[in-house]
Amino acid sequence: MIDILKNTLEIIGKISNSSAGFLLKSNSGRIETIYSFGECCGLFDNIQESIAKLKKSGELSQEKLFKIPEVEKTAGINSWNSAYLKELQLGNQEIFYIIILFSKVIDNYNEANVAQYISLVDNFRNIINEGNSNITESEKETLTGGSASLNGKQIMQSLFEASEDLVFILNKDGYIKNVNEYGAACIDYETSEISGLHFVELVASKNKQVLAESFRKIIEDDKLVTFEAILMSKFGNEIIFQMNCKRIIEEGNSYNVIGIGKNITELRNYEEKIKELNVRLLEANRIVSIEKQRSKRQKAILSELNRMKSEFISNISHELRTPLASIIGFSETISSDPNMPEEMRNEFNEIILNEGKRLAKLINEVLDISRLEG
């Protein structure tokens, strides 16, 4: 019975996007942890007294649960943002079973989401009744139809009807015993078309080695195994699933494999597009970096040119003053001395002419620089 409880709790956890799950038993005010999965599995072993007090006072709820210091601290560390709590009572007896789930998603356990797996939660009551020593054989017969397999079928049927993922059961040889309609539709098949097929027949050739290794782990280990599988649709399209599979032991050495596959093809396509955009972004950043370096060099050149220009203007101002001063000085001397000897006058005129030519040359150089700058 405990194996069925474990498997059902983990299935509910997967369907409900829960990061942790706990099954507690309350008997005459005493609380004990029956099974747990996910993060902080031993949490409720340390707060059984707090849970018992809340249960006794009738205040056990997810709001009160989060106010227990240990839960509040653990929730903060693990980013648990929402919780689901369900009590299951066995008839009029004093025994209760409490299912508690935690999720990192805010408002994960809203009415619409819970409706998808509530039938599985309710089936816990039948499973627990089957293993309860206080129940009569006639009551057990009524609840189970004479065997535990009926409960297993009820659970599987509820799971198949509730899940919006690919849900399947394989026999020990890998042939598909059952598959849900929604999952078959994901790969463009009817359930009747793929029931009886070997699971490998649906797997893309490039993914068969990964699948073989994953199924080896499933067969060798009793734990839930997660891996990615690329399945081929009826029309030859590749569909990527994130698989969660677990071996379920039956009587003797026989076993089945139950699997839940979430279609992540669109997610992977988005990831590929993001990778492409990241490559483009890196290239764009590289070009921007080159342009920035080029801009820095251009700024440095312009800064040097401005420095040279300022220096040139300073120098040319001095150079212009020198011939201009000579021209003015010698012209004033000639003008103020009408009796100046002819020989001296000619010498002064020659100096004025040379300085005028020198001044014209400097002016032409300034004009040439202005044209180049333009």
Number of domains making up the chain: 3
- We report the CATH number of the domain holding residue 345 as 1.10.287.130
340, 369: one domain: yes
3-state helix, strand, coil in the chain (%, to 5): 60, 20, 20
What per-residue confidence (pLDDT) applies to 240? 94
Closest CA to 246 of 254, 238, 255, 237: 255
154, 59: one domain: yes
Q: Which of 9-13, 24-28, 222-226 has the lowest mean pLDDT?
A: 9-13
In tens, the pLDDT along 144-189 reads 334 444 455 555 566 666 677 888 889 888 899 888 888 899 999 9
- Evaluate if residue 5 carries a pLDDT over 90: no
- We report the CATH number of the domain holding residue 68 as 3.30.450.40
Put simply, whether the predicted model's pTM sits higher than 0.85 gets the answer no
In tens, the pLDDT along 234-282 reads 999 999 999 988 888 776 667 888 888 889 999 889 999 999 999 999 9
Supply φ then ψ for residue 172, to 5 degrees.
-65, -20
54, 8: one domain: yes
**Distance between CA atoms of 37 and 6, rounded to whole angstroms?**
9
Domain, as residue range, for 365: 295-373
225, 338: one domain: no
Q: Is residue 288 part of a domain?
A: no
Angle between helices 2-15 and 149-162 (to 10 degrees): 0
Supply the mean pLDDT for the chain: 81
102, 214: one domain: no
Q: Is residue 180 part of a domain?
A: yes
- Evaluate if residue 289 carries a pLDDT over 60: yes
By DSSP bridging, strand 255-263 and strand 166-171 are antiparallel
171, 140: one domain: no
- Tell me, what amino acid is at 62? Q
- We report the CATH number of the domain holding residue 204 as 3.30.450.20
130, 20: one domain: yes
Q: Which residue has the tokens 């001397």?
A: 333
Q: Is residue 343 part of a domain?
A: yes
Closest CA to 234 of 164, 269, 184: 184
255, 207: one domain: yes
**Distance between CA atoms of 280 and 278, rounded to whole angstroms?**
5
Task: Determine how many CB atoms are found less than 10 A away from the CB of residue 116.
Answer: 15
Q: Is residue 105 part of a domain?
A: yes
Q: Strand, coil or helix: what is 63?
A: helix
250, 360: one domain: no
What per-residue confidence (pLDDT) applies to 315? 81
**Distance between CA atoms of 146 and 161, rounded to whole angstroms?**
24
The mean per-residue pLDDT over the stretch 220-245 comes to 89
